[in-house]
Amino acid sequence: MIRRRDFITLLGGAAAWPIAARAQQAGMPVVGFLNANSPEAGASLLAAFRQGLREERYVDGENVIIEPWWAAGQYDRLPALAMDLVSRRVAVISAGSPPAAQAARAATSTIPIVFTSGGDAVKQGLVPSLVRPGGNVTGISFLIDELSAKRLGLLHDLVPNAGVIGLMLNPGFQDASDQLKGAQDAARSIGLKLEVIAARDDRDIDDAFARIGALQVGALIVSSDPFLLSRHQKILGQAASQRLPAIYNLREFVTAGGLMSYDTSIADAYRQAGAYVGRILKGAKPGDLPVLQPTRYEFVINLKTARALGLTIPSGLLAIADEVIE
Q: How far apart are the first and last CA of the chain?
A: 24
Max CA distance (Å), the chain: 63
In this prediction, residues 174-181 reach a mean pLDDT of 84
Among 220, 214, 213, 230, which Cα is nearest to 173's?
Answer: 230
High-pLDDT (> 70) share of the chain, %: 92
76 by Cβ neighbours in 10 Å (0-12 / 13-18 / 19+) ranks as: exposed
296 forms beta bridges with: none
Q: Are 102 and 34 in contact (CB under 8 A)?
A: no
Q: Are residues 127 and 47 in the same domain?
A: yes
pLDDT on residue 25: 59
Say which CATH number the domain at 10 has. 3.40.50.2300
As for how many domains the chain has, the answer is: 2
119 and 206 within one domain: no
What digits encode the pLDDT tens for the residues 96-145? 988 999 999 999 999 999 999 877 888 889 999 999 999 999 999 987 76
Task: Locate all alpha helices (DSSP H) within the chain, ordered by sequence.
Answer: 4-10, 17-25, 39-55, 78-87, 98-107, 144-158, 176-190, 202-214, 226-230, 232-241, 251-255, 266-281, 303-308, 315-320
CA neighbor of 169 nearest in space, from 274, 68, 249? 249
Domain span at residue 40 reads: 4-142+265-295
Q: How far is CA 298 from CA 2, 32, 95, 130, 187, in A?
A: 26, 28, 22, 24, 22
Q: Are 238 and 291 in a shared domain?
A: no
Q: Are residues 303 and 285 in the same domain?
A: no
Residue 214's pLDDT band (boundaries 50, 70, 90)? Answer: confident
Given a cut of 90, whether residue 90 has pLDDT beyond it is: yes
Half-sphere exposure of 239 (CA within 13 A, CB side): 30
- Do 29 and 132 belong to one domain? yes
Full-model pTM: 0.81
Q: Say yes or no: 42 and 185 in one domain.
A: no
Q: Are 128 and 276 in the same domain? A: yes
pLDDT(73) > 90: no
7, pLDDT greater than 50: no
Q: Are residues 188 and 198 in the same domain?
A: yes
**Three-state DSSP state, 92:** strand
Among candidate residues 129, 81, 146, the one with its CA nearest the CA of residue 108: 81
Q: What pLDDT does 9 receive?
A: 46
Residues 20, 96, single domain; the answer is: yes
CB atoms within 10 A of CB 153: 16
Q: Which CA distances in Å does 232 have to 46, 118, 224, 303?
A: 18, 19, 12, 19
**Rounded to whole angstroms, how far apart are CA atoms 279 and 262?**
30
Q: Are residues 95 and 31 in the same domain?
A: yes
**Cβ-contact 235, 228 below 8 angstroms:** yes
**Amino acid 12: pLDDT:** 47
Beta bridge partners of 187: none
Do 65 and 156 lie in one domain? The reply is no
So what's the pLDDT on residue 26? 62
**Structure confidence by residue, pLDDT tens digits, 42-52:** 899 999 999 99
